[in-house]
Amino acid sequence: MNDHGTRIDDLYRNQSRKVFASLVRLLRDFDLAEEAMQEAFASAIIQWEADGVPANPMAWLISAGRFKAVDIIRRREKARDIAPEVTKRIEQVCEANVQRAATEIEDDQLRLIFTCCHPAIDPKVQVPLTLREVCGLTTEEIAKAFLTSPTTMAQRIVRGKAKIRDAGIPFVIPALSDLPERLDGVLSVIYLIFNEGYSASNGDSLVRCELSDEAIRLCRLLLELHNDAEVMGLLGLMLLHESRRTARATGDGQIVLLEDQDRSMWNRDLIVEGKRLVERSLTSRQFGFYTLQAAISAAHANAITAADTDWNQIVALYSVLIQVDPSPVVELNRAVAVAMRDGPDAGITLIDAILERGELANYHLTHSARGELLRRAGRTAEAVTAFEQSLALTQQQPERRFLTERLRKLRES
């Protein structure tokens, strides 16, 4: 691949969803914006080879996408009814100068998130719709994050796009007075974007840095817009997690568990910033789910070595978190913390209770956590079964390698 091809490939991987968000705002049509974006990138491959990469590639791609949209509409059967209206809108937009277009790009993804999280849209649809349209995650990746089938998730996403179109939901950041009722959905989206980047649901890589970086960027924008305790908490949580990125895997991509990580590799600047945000949020006394999770991450960051971890504090924080968000995943995390404090058998009992209720049976981390505790308790045969169950549910290659190695060592013993 030549230099132009490499540049376009990098732009597509890291910036295509920003181009898409701007085109959605301009065209008011998700599917048209997606098709126009693809054609704009295809044109760039040819034109940039001949003319060179433009000074502002993003503005060029958005401009090309606007006119590709007109071409697409004209190819459709109903072109006579729709094209003049869209063409007029595009001509108006083209009057904006390149500098303004580049500035607007920064906020377009945030606008699109607020659109997808509009109160008129079913809450079950808001987050998956945003993950698909704003971040470009596949339907399969989103379905896995929500522990549901790709078919069910695809139907939800289609319903969400139809609702935006039929209800004429505006592509704007809401007024400050409307922000509180819209904030929960937006924070959920940003958190799930980060999670997919921090621990990819499938594929060859443990992380997808472009997604975790984008989540942090969006949360910083949101904090500038709305100085809210939970926005601080979420940003602090993501920064504290992100501080451990380089220590989470070996040079050849093998997973390193938290207790085995080289803590000198943790990014102290991110830890300091993250802890400061957590402290500000806690001081406000208006904190919730994200701030409590961030406080747990801060407790890990405070430990110079794994042996120094204050498991009493972490168990206590998880106990409060369960009151705020009584979810089985939080229960699972608390069970692991209890095991670290009281011994593996105590954790196994708690995880078995979750499974007996029929919850998290298809969640691979339930079985891998249970397998690890069984291994530490010396219950090797049961540990092998649990790790096999986790392996059958895991699609991410680094996790599969980690589980396969665990199984190999257990079988040898």
> In this structure, are residues 144 and 84 in contact, taking their beta carbons and an 8 Å threshold?
no
pLDDT reported for residue 374: 97
pLDDT reported for residue 404: 94
pLDDT reported for residue 385: 96
DSSP result, 94-115: HTS-HHHHHHHHHHHHHHHHHH
How far is Cα 237 from Cα 271, in angstroms, rounded to an integer? 10
DSSP result, 334-387: HHHHHHHHH-HHHHHHHHHHHHHTT-STT-HHHHHHHHHHHHHTT-HHHHHHHH
Residue of 183, 306, 193, 185 whose CA lies nearest to 244:
306
- Residue 137's φ and ψ, nearest 5 degrees, are -65, 150
Assigned token pair, 112: 């699109």
Q: Which domains does the chain have, with CATH numbers?
A: 1-95 (1.10.1740), 310-413 (1.25.40.10)
How far is Cα 355 from Cα 23, in angstroms, rounded to an integer? 45
pLDDT reported for residue 310: 97
Is the entire prediction scored with pTM above 0.85?
no
pLDDT reported for residue 179: 73
Opening angle at CA 25, ends 19 and 28, nearest 5 = 120
Kindly calculate the radius of gyration of the chain based on its CA atoms and give it in whole angstroms.
Answer: 23
How far is Cα 396 from Cα 167, in angstroms, rounded to an integer? 39
Amino acid identity of residue 214, one-letter, is E
pLDDT in tens, the chain (413 residues): 556 667 778 888 777 878 888 888 888 888 888 899 899 988 888 888 888 888 888 889 988 888 888 888 877 755 555 555 655 555 554 444 344 444 454 568 788 888 888 888 888 888 888 888 887 888 888 887 777 899 999 999 999 999 988 888 887 777 766 777 778 888 988 888 888 777 755 444 544 777 788 889 889 988 887 889 999 999 999 999 999 999 998 888 788 999 999 999 999 999 999 999 999 999 998 889 999 999 999 999 999 999 999 999 999 999 999 999 899 999 999 999 999 999 999 999 999 999 999 999 999 999 999 999 999 999 999 999 999 999 999 888 889 999 999 999 999 87
pLDDT reported for residue 97: 38
pLDDT reported for residue 188: 85
pLDDT reported for residue 90: 52
Count CB neighbours of 334 within 10 A: 21
> Who's near 65: CB < 8 A, 6+ residues apart?
19, 22, 23, 33, 36, 37, 39, 40
How far is Cα 58 from Cα 316, in angstroms, rounded to an integer? 48
Alpha helices, H only, 148-205: 150-167, 179-198
Alpha helices, H only, 200-267: 209-225, 229-242
- 396's enclosing H/E stretch is strand 395-396
Q: Is 286 helix (H, G, I), strand (E, B) or coil?
A: coil
Q: Is 138 helix (H, G, I), strand (E, B) or coil?
A: coil
* HSE of 43, CA atoms in CB hemisphere, 13 A: 19
Bridge partners of 202, per DSSP, are 395
